[in-house]
């Protein structure tokens, strides 16, 4: 889950590099690079979330099957997956909210 959260953080150095790309003469290529970077971050975070959910399912399955799996580690894995899912839902809500706000703008 830490990887999902840390991959969503934007550092000041990344902002400066993005603004320097925006000042270049080829705005189409820099726009496409910015979109793919954001898309890559979202895909990475979603992959991390799915991996955590898969780990949680495996640990819970081990506990239910009686394979001697630790109940505490299974509960921790479930909570990590839940927090990761909640984070992704909040990110989705922010993206939808930003889209709706942009769509209401008059040009």
Give the count of domains, the chain: 1
Dihedral angle sign, alpha carbons of residues 81, 98, 13, 19: positive
Structural domain range at position 70 = 2-104
Task: Evaluate whether 40 touches 14 at the Cβ level (below 8 Å).
Answer: no
Q: Which residues of the chain have pLDDT under 70?
A: 1-35
Give the predicted TM-score (pTM) of the model. Answer: 0.61
Give CA–CA dist 2/52, Å, rounded: 11
pLDDT value at position 18? 52
| Count of beta carbons in the 10 Å neighbourhood of residue 65 | 9
What's the DSSP call for residue 10? -
Q: Write down how long the chain is.
A: 107
The predicted pLDDT at position 27 comes to 42
DSSP state, residue 9: -
């Amino acid at each position: 889950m830490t990887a999902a959260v840390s991959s969503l953080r934007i550092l000041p150095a990344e902002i400066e590099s993005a603004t320097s790309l925006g000042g270049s003469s080829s705005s189409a290529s820099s726009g496409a690079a910015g979109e793919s970077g954001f898309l890559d971050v979202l895909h990475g975070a979603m992959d991390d979330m799915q991996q955590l959910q898969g780990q949680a399912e495996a640990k819970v399955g081990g506990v239910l099957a009686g394979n001697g799996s630790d109940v505490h580690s299974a509960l921790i894995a479930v909570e990590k997956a839940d927090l990761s899912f909640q984070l992704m839902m909040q990110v989705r809500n922010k993206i939808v909210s930003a889209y709706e706000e942009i769509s209401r703008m008059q040009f």
